[in-house]
């Protein structure tokens, strides 16, 4: 079972990733003339180098995307090869660019696919794909996503309040006892950056895609940080709709939080997004909706 994206032509390999990114960026910047894109840095998130079956030749992906779009981006553009946690690094770097006045807008995009023969074969070999014989697994997915970020100008919007990153000493498959040290540290750093406490967060959106390890990690981290009882504390995982989409999952978490806030079906204005990579990277982002909020 897998979530595959239908495209107008049968692109494969790197060309498929280029199309995912180009389509998402084009939609995100539809309100801008392509002649204006040259002032906007593109921070492109892709799979981590340790990904099983990783497509080769991704180092020139930004140039490929620009050719596909027939447009160029700022010289401050960069590739971020960190998988699911890449969105946090991208947001932190966008903050630096915006604060320094290097750009007034930054586009963060991601493109990834786990629906390739080599990747599926490797995950199947270690029983990590969801199947009749392996219920503790995920459904592979793919896709592209894009976010346009700017300095907060006062209008109703989803604002990045805090960012935290850390490393987990007992990543999945390591055989070491899981205490969620990495995710706990990342969430605490994001909360400190945002100057809020965990009980002030209204809901969570994560990259969890079905494996028990990551659900256990999220539960352990919550038990170590939350100090005031909450009657309800939703945890959303978009992967149940789109599958495990790698580096796209981090952006999707933020996009889901943004959509829920704009349409007022979120449990509240404060949201925590957290992501975990197989190699041990952990990231957390605290966001707040600044417009009028009605449940």
pLDDT in tens, 45-65: 999 999 999 999 899 999 999
Cα 266 from Cα 3, distance rounded (Å): 26
Please name the residues in contact with 68: beta carbons below 8 A apart, sequence gap of 6 or more. 18, 19, 21, 22
Q: Is 241 exposed, middle or buried (0-12, 13-18, 19+ CB in 10 A)?
A: exposed
Residue 5 corresponds to which tokens in the numbers above?
A: 């994206």
The domain 13-150 belongs to what CATH superfamily? Thiolase/Chalcone synthase (3.40.47.10)
Q: Terminus-to-terminus CA distance in the chain, angstroms? A: 36
**Is the per-residue pLDDT at 74 higher than 80?**
yes
Cα 196 from Cα 134, distance rounded (Å): 40
For the chain, the average pLDDT equals 95
pLDDT given at position 294: 58
Residue 21 corresponds to which tokens in the numbers above?
A: 């990114």
- The 281-289 sheet, strands edge to edge: 158-167, 281-289, 270-276, 203-206, 234-236
**Is the per-residue pLDDT at 133 higher than 90?**
no
pLDDT digits (tens, 9 = 90+) for 162-196: 999 999 999 999 999 999 999 999 999 999 999 99
**Is the per-residue pLDDT at 98 higher than 70?**
yes
- Segment 194-210 mean pLDDT: 97
Other Cβ atoms less than 10 A from the Cβ of 181: the count is 18
Report percent pLDDT > 70 for the chain.
Answer: 99
DSSP 213-240: HHHHHHHHHHHHH--S--S--EEE-THH
What's CA 81's distance to the chain center, in Å? 12
Q: Which pairing describes strands 281-289 and 142-150: parallel, antiparallel, or unpaired?
A: unpaired
pLDDT given at position 1: 74
pLDDT given at position 274: 98
Sketch the domain layout of the chain as residue ranges.
13-150, 158-289
- Segment 71-75 mean pLDDT: 97
Q: Is 176 exposed, middle or buried (0-12, 13-18, 19+ CB in 10 A)?
A: exposed
Phi, psi at 256, each rounded to 5°: -65, -45
Task: Give Cα separations from 130 to 139, 162, 179 (angstroms).
Answer: 6, 34, 25
pLDDT digits (tens, 9 = 90+) for 102-111: 999 999 999 9
Other Cβ atoms less than 10 A from the Cβ of 32: the count is 15
**Is the per-residue pLDDT at 295 higher than 60?**
no
**Is the per-residue pLDDT at 136 higher than 80?**
yes
pLDDT given at position 293: 63
Instruction: Tell me if 13-150 shares its fold with 158-289.
Output: yes
Cα angle 144-266-165, degrees, rounded to a multiple of 5: 55
Return the H-helix or E-strand segment holding 46. strand 42-46
Angle between helices 61-69 and 13-28 (to 10 degrees): 60
- Segment 7-28 mean pLDDT: 96
Using pLDDT thresholds of 50, 70 and 90, give the confidence band for residue 153.
confident
Using pLDDT thresholds of 50, 70 and 90, give the confidence band for residue 119.
very high
Q: Name the architecture of domain 158-289.
A: 3-Layer(aba) Sandwich (3.40)
- Segment 135-140 mean pLDDT: 94
pLDDT given at position 291: 82
- Segment 83-108 mean pLDDT: 97
**Is the per-residue pLDDT at 281 higher than 60?**
yes
């Amino acid at each position: 079972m897998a979530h595959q994206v239908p495209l107008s032509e049968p692109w494969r390999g790197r060309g498929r990733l280029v199309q995912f990114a180009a389509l998402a960026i084009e939609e995100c910047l539809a309100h801008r003339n392509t002649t204006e894109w040259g002032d906007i840095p593109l921070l492109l998130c892709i799979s981590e180098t340790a990904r099983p079956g990783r497509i080769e030749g991704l180092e020139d992906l930004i140039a490929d995307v620009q050719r596909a779009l027939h447009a160029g981006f700022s010289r401050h553009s960069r590739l971020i090869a960190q998988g699911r946690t890449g969105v946090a690094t991208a947001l932190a770097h966008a903050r630096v660019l915006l604060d320094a006045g290097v750009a007034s807008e930054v586009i963060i995009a991601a493109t990834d696919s786990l629906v390739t023969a080599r990747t599926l074969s490797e995950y199947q070999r270690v029983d990590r794909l969801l199947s009749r014989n392996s219920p503790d697994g995920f459904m592979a997915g793919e896709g592209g996503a894009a976010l346009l970020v700017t300095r907060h100008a006062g209008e109703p919007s989803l604002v990045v309040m805090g960012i935290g990153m850390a490393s987990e000493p007992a990543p999945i498959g390591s055989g070491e006892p899981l205490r969620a040290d990495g995710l706990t540290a990342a969430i605490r750093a994001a909360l400190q950056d945002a100057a809020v406490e965990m009980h002030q967060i209204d809901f969570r959106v994560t990259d969890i895609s079905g494996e028990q390890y990551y659900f256990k990690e999220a539960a352990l981290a919550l038990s170590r940080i939350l100090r005031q009882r909450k009657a309800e504390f939703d945890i959303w995982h978009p992967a149940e709709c789109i599958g495990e989409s790698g580096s796209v999952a981090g952006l999707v978490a933020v996009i889901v939080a943004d959509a829920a806030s704009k349409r007022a079906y979120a449990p509240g204005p404060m949201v925590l997004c957290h992501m975990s990579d197989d190699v041990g990277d952990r990231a957390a982002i605290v966001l707040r909706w600044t417009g009028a909020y009605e449940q």
